[in-house]
Amino acid sequence: MRIDILTVLPEMIEGFFDCSIMARAKKKGLAEIVIHNIRDYTTDKHHRTDDYPFGGCAGMVMKIEPIDNLITKLKSERHYDEVIFTTPDGEQWNQKMANTMSMCENLIILCGHFKGIDYRIREHLITKEVSIGDYVLTGGELAAAVMADSLVRIIPGVISDEQSALSDSFQDNLLAPPVYTRPAEYKGWRVPDVLLSGHEAKIRDWEFQQSLERTKRLRPDLLEGDGI
C-alpha cells in the first residue's frame, strides 16, 4: 500500500513515520509513505500556499493551484483509490473504515490547515472527507498520521504476530481484555489465577467475558446497532 500525504508542514510528521512499526512496514516493503510539501508545487515567486478569503472573513484559506498541481501530478503517475481530506466536519474515522481502507492500493491524504481550503478543492478533487474526532486540531497532519498508523498496522505481515492486530480493541465490536506480564505478583498485586492455570479453553473464555464486561461498562454503544 502507498499513502501520499500532502501538507504544508512535512516536518511535523516525517519523524513519526521513521519510527517503530511504521518504519518496519516501510522497510519490509509493505507500506510506502510519501510526504509531499505543497509549497513545492506553487508557481508564484513568493511560494504562497494560502491567501485572503473572498468576502472579507478573518483568517487565510489554502489556495487551489499548488494542491491541484500536486494531485494532478500524482494521479498521472498511478491510480488512487481515494483522495482523502482531513477535516473536523468529515466522516468519523473508526476501525471499520481503517479495515476497509487498508485493502486499498494507493491513497492520497490532504492535510487541511488554518480556516480551511478553497472549497472548490473539496468539490472537485476530494473523494472522501474524514475527521478523527469531535475537536479541532490546528492542522490535519496529526489526523493523517493517526489514519496512516491505524491503516498500516493491520496490513498482513506488518505486525509480526498478526493475531495481535486481530485481537485489538474494536475488532469484533469488543474492547480488548486486560493483559499482564511477569512477575505474577508485584507488591501483592496478583495476576488473575486463570491466566496462570495453563488451561487454554478457560483462559479464552475468561478473556471473552472480560472483553464483554469492559465493553458493557465502558462503551455500551459498541454493543448496540451496527457497531463497527
Q: For the sheet containing 82-92, what is the strand order?
A: 32-37, 2-7, 106-111, 82-92, 128-131
Pairing of strands 32-37, 106-111: unpaired
Nearer to ligand ADE, 62 or 143 (CB): 143
Nearer to ligand ADE, 54 or 135 (CB): 135
Least spacing, CB of residue 111 vs ligand ADE, in Å:
8
At 181, phi and psi to the nearest 5? -140, 180
Q: How far is the CB of 106 from ligand ADE (least distance, A)?
A: 21
User: Smallest distance, Å, CB 135 to ligand ADE?
Assistant: 5
How many Cα neighbours within 13 Å face the side chain of 31?
30
Q: Which of 87, 113, 143 is nearest to 8 (CA)?
A: 113
Alpha carbon distance 207, 169 (integer Å) = 12
CB nearer to ligand ADE: pick between 87 and 102 = 87
The number of residues in the chain equals: 228
Q: How far is the CB of 182 from ligand ADE (least distance, A)?
A: 39
Rank residues 90 and 177 by Cβ distance to ligand ADE and give the closer one. Answer: 90
| CA gap 81, 105 in Å, rounded | 7
- With both helix axes pointing from N to C terminus, report the angle between 141-152 and 20-27 in degrees, rounded to the nearest 10: 60
Of 133 and 157, CB closest to ligand ADE = 133
Give which of 25, 20, 62, 59 is closest to 41, Cα–Cα.
62
The minimum distance between CB 124 and ligand ADE, in angstroms, equals: 20
Query: Which CB, 117 or 158, lies closer to ligand ADE?
Result: 117
Q: Which residues bind ligand ADE (CB under 6 A)?
A: 86-88, 112, 131-133, 135-137, 140, 143
Nearer to ligand ADE, 36 or 177 (CB): 36
129 forms bridges with which residues in the sheet?
85
CB of 112 to ligand ADE, least distance (A): 5
Q: What single-letter amino acid sits at 56?
A: G
Query: Rounded to the nearest whole angstrom, what is the least distance from the CB of residue 133 to ligand ADE in the complex?
Result: 5
